[in-house]
Structure 1
């Protein structure tokens, strides 16, 4: 998935997080930078309007600057220190259930409309990854 995202859209930092809304957390199941974002780490789900839009409406979150990311990323200082300033969080939904998200970060203003449109090419492969993962592991 990481290689596909890099070749298709471009990405400096790539993570995948699996959702467990019943338990109230997401678990990182892949990270291109395990020192900064270790795999299997968890964080609480913030059940806000962004999460609702991603889950219910399958709306991809896009922020193209650090200013746009303020308030949505508690780890914004770490993101900035890694040279990132724009983000795409693509929800992965199957059978009406939020499986997780694919998260791409790169330099400020990197994810313009043309790159955001390319993210659609990642939906089916990402769904396959999460379904395979969930068939073998409890999130």
Structure 2
């Protein structure tokens, strides 16, 4: 994968946030903004993967009414989880059928007028630490959206590790 220059794709702002003192959710908000500008989304969430590898905790959402943070989301073993969480592979869902295949809460997703998704694993030391998921109208996401999202994902690792610690110690804030 050829990396773009930071100034070409907006990564400079994300890197600037990373190196100055900030709250972890600020970095996730910056990533959401950048992904929204460059790729597009109508919903952006970040799921932290729990130690049992079957549950997740939502640590970021830009729609808190529909998708509140700091709630355990029981994923169980699913084909989507096998591909994204355990396999570390990016996944594109193009329509309602794909969304229903991947997400147990597909009815809620559909009720928000969303019918496509781009799920990008954040992998650290060979394990999926979290998953970034962007949602939009049917047919929105294409393979050419993947490289930028995959370049952004590792920049979030330090902040996701801080959030993981907060979740594990019970100090995470809603």
Q: TM-score range by the shorter chain?
A: 0.7 to 0.9
**Residue 55 of structure 2 is aligned with which of 15, 25, 33?**
25
Q: 1:137 to 1:69 in 2, by over 3 A?
A: closer
Deviation of the 1:23 alpha carbon: 7.2
Which whole-Å CA distance do the structure 2 matches of 1:69 and 1:10 have between them? 17
Alpha-carbon offset, residue 132 of structure 1: 3.2
> In 2, Cα distance between the equivalents of 1:9 and 1:118?
8
With structure 1 as the length reference, what TM-score do the two structures score?
0.87
- Any unmatched runs of 5+ in structure 2? 1-30, 170-174
* Greater helix share, structure number: 2
Using structure 2 for the length normalisation, give the TM-score: 0.71
Identify if the C-alpha distance between structure 1 residues 46 and 131 changes in structure 2 by more than 3 Å, giving closer, same or farther. same
Q: 1:19/1:56 Cα in 2 relative to 1: closer, same or farther (>3 Å)? A: closer
**Alignment size in residue pairs:** 139
Please list the CA deviations of residues 3-26 of structure 1 after superposition, one character each: whole Å capped at 9, or x if unmatched.
122123211100001011427410
C-alpha distance in 2, partners of 1:73/1:49? 10
Which residue of 82, 95, 101 maps to 2:131?
101
Q: What is the DSSP-based 3-state SS (H/G/I as helix, E as strand, rest coil) of the residue aligned with 2:168?
A: coil
| Stretches of structure 1 lacking an aligned partner (at least 5 in a row) | none
- 4+ aligned runs moved over 4 Å, structure 1: none
Q: Tell me, in whole angstroms, the C-alpha distance in 2 between the residues paired with 1:83 and 1:59.
A: 26
CA drift at 1:124: 1.9
Name which one, 1 or 2, has greater alpha-carbon Rg.
2
Deviates more, 1:94-103 or 1:121-130: 121-130
